[in-house]
Structures are given as structure tokens and as C-alpha cells.
Chain A
Amino acid sequence: DAGVTQSPTHLIKTRGQQVTLRCSPKSGHDTVSWYQQALGQGPQFIFQYYEEEERQRGNFPDRFSGHQFPNYSSELNVNALLLGDSALYLCASSHHPGTVKNTGELFFGEGSRLTVL
């Protein structure tokens, strides 16, 4: 049973560039959320996707956008990169809260380490 997979694992960009990160949820999960974790901090919620729509959003600017595909996989896009966007980006998956299968447990991938120079 494949867990949550993310790609790429590491990447380096320069200020002003754009980046796309990818996530495949755990088998059977339909809801994906993204988190940003700066060094030495806890993860911060970016947004959540279910049924190909953004359902909830944290306190992040519009430069952060996402997408969910019919197979439940998801992308996180960040435009006009800033030095402060350097972080570990984590994807989490679960069953949707409204479904019987949901226990509320989140499963995380290994993350994508983004460095902005």
C-alpha cells in the first residue's frame, strides 16, 4: 500500500521564479492538504483540496495556488518566489471529514525541500 508520495524531493530556484510541487495521496484517500515548514518551526497550513476544489485556506498570499486532479493527486504552485519561501513543503492526505471512513488521521509525505536563492 503506497503511502503519500511527493516530488521532487529537493529543488533550488532563484527569486522571482515559479515552482510546482506534486503529491500523490495514500491509496484510498481523496483529500489533500499542503503545509509549509520553515526551519525549526511547526508546519503551517496552506490549503486543502477535495473534489478538485480548494476547500480551506490558511494565511498565505495568492502567490500560492494549487490544483487537484480527478485521480486525487495534487499540485502546489508558488509564483514570484521570495527568499522567505525557502522551506520544506509537506503534503498530507486523508479521507474527507464527511465520510464514514474518516478517522481524522493525517498521513504525510517526505516533503519537498525548496531553496530560493
Chain B
Amino acid sequence: KQEVTQIPAALSVPEGENLVLNCSFTDSAIYNLQWFRQDPGKGLTSLLLIQSSQREQTSGRLNASLDKSSGRSTLYIAASQPGDSATYLCAVPASGGYQKVTFGTGTKLQVIP
């Protein structure tokens, strides 16, 4: 059974700081890993998708890396802004199905102006 852990559970940083969010998973036989952002009471917005054959993906100030062998992914946010404040979730599909996805409990990020 796939288990996903995100550390830290919460993080508060001053504006402009670079930061790293961590995600670990127990079953390394994954098809991909996806990072999402969730604002309070809202749905999930896809940030980055990394295929199992890739090591990293970048979008603007975001960079996600994937190390399948160690069961880890990191989301790097450069030059954080107050608008980045949200909960960040990582998700991996169970083997055999893309949509039976297992999520971590998320990292709640607060960027202080």
C-alpha cells in the first residue's frame, strides 16, 4: 500500500525567501508524481507533473525533483511571495492505475510580507 508523507506540516517564511517542501513515498514503482496547490476551501490546482522517467520539472519560480530510488520528491519555491501562501500537496498513483492516487496530508505554507 502506497503511503505518502509530507514534511513539514506547516511552514512560515518571510517574503523573498527560497524554500523547499518535501514529499516521501513508500512504493517507488510509480508512474508519475504530481504537485498541487490548494487554497482554503478550494479545489486543487496542478502545479507540476513529473513522469517516472524524469528527474525534474520547472515552471516559473517552481522546480520539482524526483528521486524514485529513494522515494523522495522536493518542491523548490524561489523568491517566495505572499500569494504563494496555500497548502501544497504531493500525489502519486497506485500501481496499476493513474487515478487511484494517494495524497500526502500537505504542507501549509505562510509567506509573511
Contact = CB atoms under 8 A, between A and B. Distances in A.
Co-assembled chains A and B:
yes
Nearest to B50: A104
Interface in B1-23: 4
Contacts of A56: 97, 99-100
A31 B10 CA distance: 33
Q: Is the interface of B mostly helix, strand, loop or mixed?
A: strand
Contacts of B42: 110-111
A88 B40 CA distance: 11
Contacts, number: 75
18 contacts: A4-B43, A33-B99, A33-B100, A41-B105, A43-B101, A45-B101, A56-B100, A58-B100, A90-B44, A94-B99, A102-B98, A103-B49, A104-B32, A106-B91, A106-B101, A108-B43, A111-B42, A113-B41
Given A31-B99, A48-B100, A109-B43, 18 more contacts: A33-B101, A42-B89, A42-B103, A43-B89, A45-B101, A48-B97, A48-B99, A55-B97, A56-B99, A56-B100, A88-B41, A94-B98, A104-B93, A104-B98, A106-B91, A108-B46, A110-B43, A111-B42
